[in-house]
């Protein structure tokens, strides 16, 4: 079923049924490229949430009791459906979130790949047998933690929800997931792939609602055993505190403000091209997006010139239009943030080399922006920009660059460019980040963990570590009856 704007009609999925929810309250879905309302998302009542919790409680028993080979087969089938439907999922995602179609469909295919990794990892949730006294069997078992309450944002509308869903299901957990109200049809399309692949009813429940109301209710419920959140540091802090009050573990994937250190021995042109490509991907709305460019003074001029060239080559437009390489920002809040951060930097003496303003047309478009001379006390240098702003700063010595990089409370991603193995090792040792890329700005891969340190959160997604949060460890010592 589609709306009059050709967008899928959005429903929640609770206890095996697609439903509108109790009150009929809705919020608009806006296409950020046109500012048109293209649909409506239903908002859950407390009674809806209780039904979802009840279903997840029962679904946990069913899923946990399903043989692992069957669980793996269902997850692989879901991955196949995501690949098959990638073109349609991509179109829906671009209409809701704005990113170029190639990025949207690419995200859908990467999501399928991630799911395959988790499907296989379900078979490797090993425990161990520990040598003990004669007549005693001492084992360590790993068991699914139980129903998970998950909360995900709008920047990766299919990849974000899937990281939570595929990790939880691979461990044998059930979920109630609140996906973003701004990209709900994409999340629903993902859930449909799991259901069509044969996931039993109640195992995966999708809700939307007023975020603070939904999270408070789900976190406090005795059914919920783990809280998994991706989003901003302030909201993460709030949810972690609620989880703590309820004595529940949590997984917090929060924001960052990634430094890029371009050392004196690096190739400035190559570094600028790679960094700029990563900067403007998803219009900079990525938690690992490079966002503070610290360049050795001997390379600053060449690096900056190439970066400006790359920024000016970005084709900004509707993500559905051929040739677009950067779409609009996902919502009006981001546009306002870009304007505020740029104005603050300029007021404090920064120079805008290119961009610096919203585009004069409908839609939340902001020009790829490069700034120099941004002082350390400008908001842009300590607040996660989450948009297409690139402040470039020259440094003299590596000690100074490392100190600047580590000065913020964030610790998610960091990047370094150097030809020296010794310098690369120093960056690896000293940068306070959960993710470091040297000589490139590549994204995450399913087989390796992603996550932050300091205010950027705790826990890891991806890699074998992804299962850790979703499994509990149980010691069993069994004295054999003589």
Please report where in the chains the tokens 């409680």 appear, as a residue: 57
Q: How many residues bind ligand NAD (CB under 6 A)?
A: 21
- The set of residues, in sequence order, having a beta carbon less than 8 Å from that of 208 and lying 6+ positions away, is 10, 12, 27, 41, 42, 43, 44, 178, 179, 181, 184, 214
Site for ligand NAD in 266-325 (CB under 6 A): 287
* Alpha-carbon gap, residue 295 to 284, rounded angstroms: 20
Residue 323 gets the label, from left (phi > 0), alpha (psi -120 to 50) or beta, of: left
Smallest distance, Å, CB 235 to ligand NAD?
4
What number of helices (H) and strands (E) belong to the chain? 13, 20
Contact 63, 174 (CB under 8 A): yes
103, 182, 253, 461: the active-site residue: 253
Smallest distance, Å, CB 408 to ligand NAD?
13
Q: Measured from the CB atom, is 214 or 310 closer to ligand NAD?
A: 214
Under rule CB under 6 A, residue 342 binds ligand NAD: no
Under rule CB under 6 A, residue 411 binds ligand NAD: no
Of 63, 386, 410, 458, which one interacts with ligand NAD (CB under 6 A)?
Answer: 386
* Alpha-carbon gap, residue 449 to 9, rounded angstroms: 35
Does the annotation mark 287 as catalytic?
yes
Q: Measured from the CB atom, is 50 or 336 closer to ligand NAD?
A: 336
DSSP string, 372-397: E---TTSGGGTS---SSEEEEEEESS
Tokens (6 digits) for 336: 């306002």
Smallest distance, Å, CB 328 to ligand NAD?
15
Smallest distance, Å, CB 157 to ligand NAD?
10
Site for ligand NAD in 179-218 (CB under 6 A): 180, 211-212, 215
Smallest distance, Å, CB 348 to ligand NAD?
20
Helix axes 68-84, 101-121, angle to 10 degrees: 170
Smallest distance, Å, CB 131 to ligand NAD?
44
Edge-to-edge strands of the sheet including 389-395? 351-354, 369-372, 389-395, 290-296, 258-262, 413-417, 435-438
Under rule CB under 6 A, residue 437 binds ligand NAD: no
Does the annotation mark 301 as catalytic?
no
Q: Measured from the CB atom, is 155 or 418 closer to ligand NAD?
A: 155
Q: Strand, helix or coil at 321?
A: coil
Under rule CB under 6 A, residue 155 binds ligand NAD: yes
Q: Measured from the CB atom, is 154 or 194 closer to ligand NAD?
A: 154
Q: Find the part of the chain contacting ligand NAD (CB under 6 A) among 47-55, 106-114, 252-260, 291-299.
A: 252-260
Of 333, 340, 474, 475, which one interacts with ligand NAD (CB under 6 A)?
Answer: 333
193, 287, 306, 461: the active-site residue: 287
Of 114, 205, 221, 230, which one interacts with ligand NAD (CB under 6 A)?
Answer: 230
* Alpha-carbon gap, residue 419 to 232, rounded angstroms: 34
* Alpha-carbon gap, residue 116 to 110, rounded angstroms: 10
* Alpha-carbon gap, residue 350 to 378, rounded angstroms: 9
Task: Give catalytic residue positions.
Answer: 253, 287
* Binding positions for ligand NAD, rule: CB under 6 A: 151, 153-155, 180, 211-212, 215, 230-232, 235, 238-239, 253-255, 287, 333, 384, 386
């Amino acid at each position: 079923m589609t709306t009059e704007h050709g967008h899928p009609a959005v429903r929640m999925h609770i206890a095996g049924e697609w439903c509108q929810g109790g009150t009929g309250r809705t919020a608009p879905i806006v296409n950020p490229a046109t500012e048109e309302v293209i649909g409506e998302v239903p908002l859950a009542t407390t009674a809806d949430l209780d039904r979802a919790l009840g279903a997840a409680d029962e679904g946990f028993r069913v899923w946990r009791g399903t043989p692992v080979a069957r669980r793996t087969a269902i997850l692989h089938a879901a991955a196949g459906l995501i690949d098959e439907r990638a073109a349609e999922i991509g179109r829906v995602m671009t209409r809701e979130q704005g990113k170029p179609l190639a990025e949207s469909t690419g995200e859908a295919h990467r999501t399928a790949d991630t799911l395959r990794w988790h499907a296989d990892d379900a078979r490797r949730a090993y425990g161990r047998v520990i040598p003990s006294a004669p007549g005693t069997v001492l084992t360590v078992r790993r068991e699914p933690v139980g129903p998970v309450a998950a909360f995900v944002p709008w920047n990766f509308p299919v990849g974000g929800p899937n990281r939570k869903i595929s990790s939880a299901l691979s461990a044998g957990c059930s979920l109630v997931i609140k996906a973003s109200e701004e990209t709900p049809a994409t999340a629903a399309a993902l859930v449909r792939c799991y259901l069509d692949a044969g996931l039993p009813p109640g195992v995966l429940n999708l809700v939307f609602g007023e975020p603070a109301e939904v999270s408070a209710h789900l976190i406090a419920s005795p059914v919920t055993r783990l809280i998994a959140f991706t989003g901003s540091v302030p909201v993460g802090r709030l949810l972690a505190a609620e989880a703590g009050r309820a004595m529940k573990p949590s997984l917090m994937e929060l924001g960052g403000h990634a430094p890029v250190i371009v050392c004196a021995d690096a190739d400035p042109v190559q570094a600028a091209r790679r960094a700029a490509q990563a900067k403007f991907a998803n219009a900079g709305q990525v938690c690992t997006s490079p966002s503070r460019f610290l360049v050795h003074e001997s390379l600053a001029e060449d690096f900056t010139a190439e970066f400006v060239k790359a920024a000016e080559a970005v084709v900004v437009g509707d993500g559905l239009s051929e040739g677009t390489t950067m779409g609009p920002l996902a919502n009006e809040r981001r546009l306002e943030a870009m304007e505020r951060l740029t104005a603050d930097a300029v007021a404090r003496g920064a120079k805008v080399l290119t961009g610096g303003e919203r585009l004069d047309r409908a839609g939340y478009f902001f020009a790829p922006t490069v700034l120099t001379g941004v002082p350390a006390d400008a908001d842009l240098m300590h607040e996660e920009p989450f948009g297409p702003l690139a402040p470039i700063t020259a440094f003299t010595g590596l000690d100074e660059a490392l100190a600047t990089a580590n000065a913020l409370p964030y610790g998610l991603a960091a990047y370094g460019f150097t030809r020296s193995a010794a310098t690369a090792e120093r960056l690896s040792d000293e940068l306070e980040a959960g993710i470091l890329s040297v000589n490139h700005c590549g994204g995450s891969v399913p087989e390796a963990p992603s996550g932050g340190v300091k205010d950027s959160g705790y826990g890891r997604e991806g890699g074998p570590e992804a299962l850790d949060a979703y499994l509990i460890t149980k010691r069993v010592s069994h004295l054999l009856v003589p």
